[in-house]
Amino acid sequence: MVTKVLSYPVTVYACFAQLKYRAVEILGVEVGNHSFWWHQDINGQSWIDDAGPTGNCLPDCGYLNSWGTPGYVGHYSEDDSRITAEAWGSPMNLSICQNEHDLIEFQIDWPEYQTRYALGTAPNSNTWAHDAANAAGFTITTPPPDAPGW
């Protein structure tokens, strides 16, 4: 048996995950909050994982699809981790990395164009964020405020 030794430095980063939220308006009327995840993987890459409707909800919202976007801003430009509120956050720690990886896997495995989006109730982006928390092993005891469908 031959054991290989890496001859170059390998950098491992601590991981974190934050459940973020922001207000949603339709035709100028606030209809509740939208929840999404901002997290950092073991390689130091930050991500926004979110979900939302494939349609504009007037008259049909379409399907509940999800996106994993590298950086600080998600699929929706309003999902900016630097300016949105935090409902829950993990410590920055290597022990979180498996949970954070499971969060990524949930987003990747989400069945696109199979679940109808429901405005103001489940299933919606809040439902997706809650299911992602459960899949990652994060216990969220207090949901984001005004998060219908949680």
pLDDT for residue 7 is more than 90 = no
Q: Cβ distance 52 to 115 under 8 Å?
A: no
Which tens digit of pLDDT belongs to each residue from 79-120?
A: 999 999 999 999 999 999 999 999 999 999 999 999 999 998
Q: What is the pLDDT of residue 101?
A: 97
Based on DSSP, count helices (H) and strands (E) in the chain, helices before strands. Answer: 2, 5
- Cβ density class 110-132: b for 16+ within 10 Å, e for less: beeeebebbbeeebbbbbbbbeb
- Mean of all residue pLDDT scores within the chain: 94
pLDDT for residue 127 is more than 90 = yes
Q: Cβ distance 49 to 68 under 8 Å?
A: yes
Q: How far separated are the first and last CA of the chain, in Å rounded?
A: 52
Q: Please give the share of the chain, as a percent, with pLDDT higher than 70.
A: 94
Q: What is the pLDDT of residue 58?
A: 87
Q: Cβ distance 42 to 75 under 8 Å?
A: no
pLDDT for residue 1 is more than 70 = no
Which tens digit of pLDDT belongs to each residue from 38-54?
A: 999 999 999 999 999 99
Q: Is the dihedral of CA 105, 107, 108, 114 positive or negative?
A: positive
> What's the CA gap between 102 and 48, in Å, rounded?
14
Supply 52's token pair: 């939302």
